[in-house]
Amino acid sequence: MAEDLNIGHGSKEEQYLSLIPQIKGLIEGEPDLTANLANIAAALKEQFNFFWVGFYLVKNDVLVLAPFQGPVACTRIGRGRGVCGTSWERAKTIIVPDVEKFPGHIACNSASKSEIVVPIIKNNLVIGVLDVDSSDYDTFDAVDATFLEKIVALIR
C-alpha cells in the first residue's frame, strides 16, 4: 500500500485515472469495510478537495452516516428522502447542479451548492451511497458519475 497519495494533475479525467489505481492499492488486501470507506473518502478529498465527501450505509432500512471528510453532517436519511434517499430508492446516480432546485434536498450544510450521489450496489441491492458535495454550483457531470461509479464498484 502506498504511504502517500500521489496527487494527479490535468483534466478531471486524468485526475480520476491517476486516483483509481491508488484507491485499488489502498483497499486491496483490507477486508474491513469501514477502513476502506475511510480511505476512499480521504483519497477523494485529497485529490479534489471536495467540500464534503463521504458515505451513508443502509442499516435497518435507513441510511446512516459512515466515514466521511468535511464538516459534520446529518446522521440518518430515510429511503426516498433527499438526494441520498432518492439515489437509494432509484438505485441510480443523481447529479444535482443546484441543491436548492432539488425538491426535498436535505441541507446538512448551507455552504453546499451542488451534489452527486452514487449508489453502492451489491447483489442487486443498494447497501449505501457515496455522496459528494461542492460549495460551487454545477460542479458534477457525467465524467464524475462514470468514475465515481467505478470507485464504488471497488467496494466489496
Instruction: Pick the closer one to ligand SME by CB: 6 or 34.
Output: 34
For ligand SME, the nearest residue by Cβ is 82
Instruction: Pick the closer one to ligand SME by CB: 22 or 105.
Output: 105
Contact 53, 117 (CB under 8 A): no
Number of other residues whose CB lies within 10 A of the CB of residue 144: 20
- Least distance in angstroms from the C-beta of 152 to ligand SME: 16
- Least distance in angstroms from the C-beta of 28 to ligand SME: 28
- Least distance in angstroms from the C-beta of 80 to ligand SME: 10
Instruction: Pick the closer one to ligand SME by CB: 43 or 130.
Output: 130
CA dihedral (3, 122, 102, 62) positive or negative:
negative
User: Which residues are registered as beta bridge partners of 63?
Assistant: 58, 77
Instruction: Pick the closer one to ligand SME by CB: 41 or 43.
Output: 41
Gap between the Cα atoms of 104 and 66, Å rounded: 21
- Give the residue among 73, 58, 67 at the shortest CA–CA distance from 115: 73
Q: Half-sphere exposure of residue 140, counting CA atoms within 13 Å on the CB side?
A: 29
- Least distance in angstroms from the C-beta of 107 to ligand SME: 7
- Return residues touching ligand SME (CB under 6 A): 52, 73-74, 77, 82-84, 105-106, 108, 112, 115, 131, 133
